[in-house]
Amino acid sequence: MPHIYRCTLELHDSLYYATREIGRLYETEPVLHNYALCYALGLVDSEKYATTVVAEDSYRYFCPVQVPMYEAHLLPLNQQGIYITPAKAVRHSAVLNTWKYADNRYHVEMKKTQKNIPSFGRTKEIAPESQFEFFAISNQSLNFPRWIRLGKWMSKAKVDVLELSKPKRNNAREFTFPFPLNPLDVMFTNQVVSYDTINMPPVSLIQNVRMVGEYYSFENSKELLKLPAAMEYRFGN
């Protein structure tokens, strides 16, 4: 049976990434994508899978080709038997920040400049002390970092980990999972009956999922948790 961990993240900085853009407002959804968590937890060896156009020595610090490589980076985790679910906010609040920048048209040579008209935007960020929960499934025991960094600002977050009691794999039947899931990772092995959609890049997530499939249950658990089994990273081609 695999090792299954219930992980809690507590933010020590405000967290920002653009889930959606509404005019000049850039909003952060209180959900953490499982792709982002894999990178933040140090599970991805991005240098090993760097493209030939990027020197491996510089890939860690600078990547001139802004092309996501999720498939190349995350599929090796399937071979290691490691899977991370998206994270759900169990307690959060938001903060609004306004930023301004100047018009750079005066940099254009040999053209008449106009007045330097300032522009602005607003970011809706997740406030410090907000908490998230996610699950980690691994064929072998995992060592988690105590601190990680997330989002555009590389915000600091503390990681607390609890290994759940010995899991029991149950036969396929209908159950509900209230935490977010990546639909690409569950729909090949489970029949999804109903769900709510969380629109966010690079792959929209689903939550409050009612499905039919195999699942893990846990002895001596205070809540009736049913975690979908056979989840792994998949990518549509």
pLDDT score at 117: 54
Nearest one of 128, 116, 120, 137 to 1, comparing CA atoms: 137
Contact (CB, 8 A) for 33 and 172:
no
pLDDT score at 99: 76
Distance CA 29, CA 201 (A): 11
* Sign of the dihedral defined by the CA atoms of residues 224, 29, 3, 157, in that order: negative
Asked, for residue 215, whether it belongs to a domain, the answer is no
Distance CA 95, CA 68 (A): 29
- 35: three-class secondary structure by DSSP: helix
- 157: three-class secondary structure by DSSP: strand
Distance CA 206, CA 129 (A): 25
**C-alpha distances out from residue 221 to 21, 127, 209, 224, Å:** 40, 30, 21, 7
Asked, for residue 210, whether it belongs to a domain, the answer is no
Contact (CB, 8 A) for 228 and 211:
yes
Asked, for residue 8, whether it belongs to a domain, the answer is yes
Asked, for residue 204, whether it belongs to a domain, the answer is no
What count of residues does the chain have? 237
pLDDT per residue over 117-152, tens digit each?
Answer: 556 788 899 999 999 999 999 999 999 999 999 998
Nearest one of 192, 181, 194, 193 to 231, comparing CA atoms: 181
For tokens 């759900």, the residue is: 88
Spell out the per-residue pLDDT of the chain, length 237, in tens: 899 999 999 999 999 998 888 888 889 999 999 999 999 999 987 554 444 333 344 445 555 667 788 999 999 999 999 999 999 999 999 999 887 765 555 555 555 555 555 567 888 999 999 999 999 999 999 999 999 999 988 999 999 999 998 899 999 999 999 999 999 999 988 999 999 999 998 999 999 999 999 999 987 666 689 999 999 999 976
Q: What is the total count of domains within the chain?
A: 1
pLDDT score at 28: 92
pLDDT score at 224: 84
Tokens of 23: 């005019």
Secondary structure (DSSP) of 182-232: -HHHHTTTSEEEEEEEE--SSS-EEEEEEEEEEEEEETT-SS---EESS--
Asked, for residue 187, whether it belongs to a domain, the answer is no
Tokens of 164: 């759940």
Contact (CB, 8 A) for 16 and 27:
no
pLDDT score at 103: 54
Q: Is the peptide bond before 202 cis (omega within 30 degrees of 0)?
A: yes
Contact (CB, 8 A) for 121 and 24:
yes
Asked, for residue 33, whether it belongs to a domain, the answer is yes
What's the distance, CA 168 to chain centroid?
A: 26
Range of the domain at 95: 3-165
Asked, for residue 9, whether it belongs to a domain, the answer is yes
Asked, for residue 149, whether it belongs to a domain, the answer is yes
